[in-house]
Chains A and B, each alone.
Chain A
């Protein structure tokens, strides 16, 4: 009934070593991840591994049970033998190498504001990782970019994850989410110079990712990318939950773009779960319309609907907005995250209103508009065409994670871009977990008992407390293991051994 749900993002960053075109991206990405993993709070007593073992059912009412089952460290070690770096952070996040890119997955959070905060913390983690990697003797400077394409045919993802009720039919998700995803880019697109997968056709488009999507529904993520991804790996009780894995979004720098991206999507998912959408917004050809919408920054393109109507992306977003507003108003007083729900609605309305009058009015809030303002400024001042290398550089450097070099960060520093959080909040989120999910348990275990944690994953933490076998604590309920549940346990347990004893005796 609200924006509240368990969710998070996972972003693959572009990685580049200027002047070293032969650098192996897997090696470079590993250097980045390992450099960050050398931070003092992560190395006390050796680094915990990622645990790939799949899960056993929940037994304890508080969301974890104490299993004495033997754990085979060889399995976890096999991954490290491949040299794929993997670090679990004290904020509950995971920093690792995936597909030749360093990747940061936020801890699980429960609302869009927290997604923004821990996603932004990921940018700072990457910036620091790159800084640390450069201090290793003999190493080259490694640049990291929060974008989605090299403009030469390659794309890499910025995914969102949303926990949903298992009982919701997947067909309903496809019906309602497809028109929403085809059109939400006008709010949360990151902007791109170049048209087509290789960017060879000169021009500007709203989305980084649109040209890389080829089918409506499917399991693939690296080729034949689908608008709706069917991966179903909940990292939680599979009888109760599905994890909707969203691969179509752009990597956003703008906090308001990220906030509205996940906030509006979460609201639409709530309406799907409650069967509150009429299903009258079917698009005749979603894959080609996705690209057509992206290629028209004037927002005038008319989308052909299944029922023969022609609507703009804005019309369709307004329709979703109005239904979400009515849905939320009808449930006032029942929503424990009411303030955030209505803040998302108010901002969504304001953005759609301004996009309808003149998209330039959103230049200090939305990524694609902010980027377009810079590009149009240069085009006017220096009479540049869209094929200009300088414009391509502006597009790329907008997403540079370094505060002193990234153009997005320069816009923030001079007050030309609105934010939701101050730098202090973001710094804190680099090391502290959210209070209200199992990420709290994971993060505090890492912060407090690093020498006794041998491995962890989304749904477990594995300890070595000097017994014959390792002890695995499953966490199949994402909203247990919170500060409310276990905060005082951590305050009073000096060691993991004490913690485990307290859990079993309690």
Chain B
């Protein structure tokens, strides 16, 4: 596929499968990803607690009752 270089912009951190990737930036990128991932999952528990407090009662009935006429 065409890989026209976009005006000499830095390409670091990109993980295109058809580009050579230096090992160091790749490791750095995955460490950064792992760190961000961890922070996000710590957050998820609080998040779900909060979402639980606003979710509609009786999920089955609520979801079943949501019936639409088709549109465009």
> Which residues does A use to contact B, with CB under 8 Å?
12, 14-16, 18-19, 21, 25, 98-101, 145, 149-157, 159, 221-222, 247, 278, 280, 309, 311, 315, 318-319, 321-323, 325-326, 329-330, 353, 356-358, 360-361, 363, 373-374, 377-378, 381, 388-390, 392-394, 396-397, 404-405, 407, 410-411, 414, 416
Number of A-B pairs whose CB atoms are under 8 Å? 151
Given A100-B71, A410-B51, A356 contacting B59 (CB threshold 8 A): no
The smallest C-beta distance from B26 to any residue of chain A, in angstroms, reads: 9
Contact between B62 and A98, CB atoms less than 8 A apart: no
> Which of B1, B5, B30, B63 lies in contact with A392, CB distance below 8 A?
B63
Q: Which residue of B lies closest to A323 (CB)?
A: B4
Given A19-B65, A322-B6, A393-B55, A361 contacting B36 (CB threshold 8 A): yes
Chain B, interface size category, equals 35 or more
Contact between B15 and A356, CB atoms less than 8 A apart: yes
* Complex alpha-carbon distance, A154 and B5, angstroms: 44
Contact between A381 and B48, CB atoms less than 8 A apart: yes
The majority secondary structure among interface residues of chain A is mixed
Determine whether B24 belongs to the interface, using a CB cutoff of 8 Å to chain A: no
Q: Which residue of B lies closest to A155 (CB)?
A: B70
**In the complex, given contacts A21-B67, A389-B59, what are 8 additional A-B residue pairs having Cβ atoms less than 8 angstroms apart?**
A12-B71, A16-B67, A151-B63, A323-B2, A373-B40, A377-B47, A388-B59, A410-B51
Contact between A393 and B62, CB atoms less than 8 A apart: yes
For the complex of A and B, list the 6 residue pairs with the smallest distance between their C-beta atoms, beginning with the closest: A156-B71, A325-B6, A329-B7, A150-B68, A157-B72, A100-B69
Q: Which residue of B lies closest to A152 (CB)?
A: B67
Contact between B33 and A361, CB atoms less than 8 A apart: yes
Q: Which residue of A lies closest to B7 (CB)?
A: A329
Determine whether B23 belongs to the interface, using a CB cutoff of 8 Å to chain A: no
> Which residues does B use to contact A, with CB under 8 Å?
1-7, 9, 13-18, 29-30, 33, 36-37, 40, 43-45, 47-48, 50-51, 54-56, 59-60, 62-63, 65-72
* Complex alpha-carbon distance, A499 and B8, angstroms: 53
* Complex alpha-carbon distance, A411 and B48, angstroms: 10
- Give every chain A residue within 8 A of B40 (Cβ-Cβ): 360, 363, 373
- Give every chain B residue within 8 A of A329 (Cβ-Cβ): 6-7
Given A393-B62, A394-B51, A407-B54, A222 contacting B29 (CB threshold 8 A): no
Contact between A154 and B70, CB atoms less than 8 A apart: yes
* Complex alpha-carbon distance, A256 and B3, angstroms: 26
The smallest C-beta distance from A406 to any residue of chain B, in angstroms, reads: 9
- Give every chain B residue within 8 A of A157 (Cβ-Cβ): 71-72
* Complex alpha-carbon distance, A392 and B9, angstroms: 43
- Give every chain A residue within 8 A of B71 (Cβ-Cβ): 12, 98-101, 154-157, 222
- Give every chain B residue within 8 A of A416 (Cβ-Cβ): 43, 47
Given A99-B72, A381-B48, A394-B51, A319 contacting B65 (CB threshold 8 A): no
